[in-house]
Amino acid sequence: MKLVVGLGNPGDRYADTRHNIGFQVVGMLAERAGISLKKSGHQGVYGVGRIAGEEVTLLLPQTYMNLSGASVGSACKSLGIEPGDLIVVHDDIDLPFGRLKIRPGGGHGGHNGIRHIKEVLATGDFTRVKVGVGRPHASDDVSDHVLSRFSATERKSLEGCLFGVAEAVEKIIESGVPEAMNAFNNKDLTE
């Protein structure tokens, strides 16, 4: 089984913000696979189904971003998920909007959700799917930027971007991380 986690913050206030793009991608995955995200558990909302012939659990932690590890740790322990079978989808300000980077393992890159997951699991050996949300202007606060909504221009290509990231996650599940990296890393999903 694979565990695919979309990071974000619960509640309408954060629903369409840059920080919640992980939630949006996992929502798109659920829709494409016909998986209902209606179960409550692991301090989150989740659903179980199949993607590319593989059994998957899709999880949206409801702990707020900075405590994502509590939800992910609970799900990993309960489901017997090894770090190699964990895929975490999250926003990344170091990538331009619409760019994607798949990375097996590594540091947290300043992302508090990833930092907490690493602390709870005591390892960074899980796959990250980083979705570019653009860097704030030099004078802008990073928190304000990631908690802001996408611009009108960005919203026009957001659906296509989410679709492309969902395809990348499906490719990881179907063919493995190296093949997915070759197919999707640094690809502009806004085109």
Secondary structure (3-state) at 177? helix
Q: Which helix (H) or strand (E) holds 171?
A: helix 152-175
In sequence order, the 6+-apart residues with CB closer than 8 A to the CB of 92 are: 101, 109, 111, 130, 131, 132, 133
| Dihedral-angle region of residue 57 (phi above 0 means left; psi in -120 to 50 means alpha; beta otherwise) | beta
Contact call for residues 74 and 64 (beta carbons, < 8 A): no
Cα(102)–Cα(77) distance, integer angstroms:
24
Q: Which residues are catalytic?
A: 19
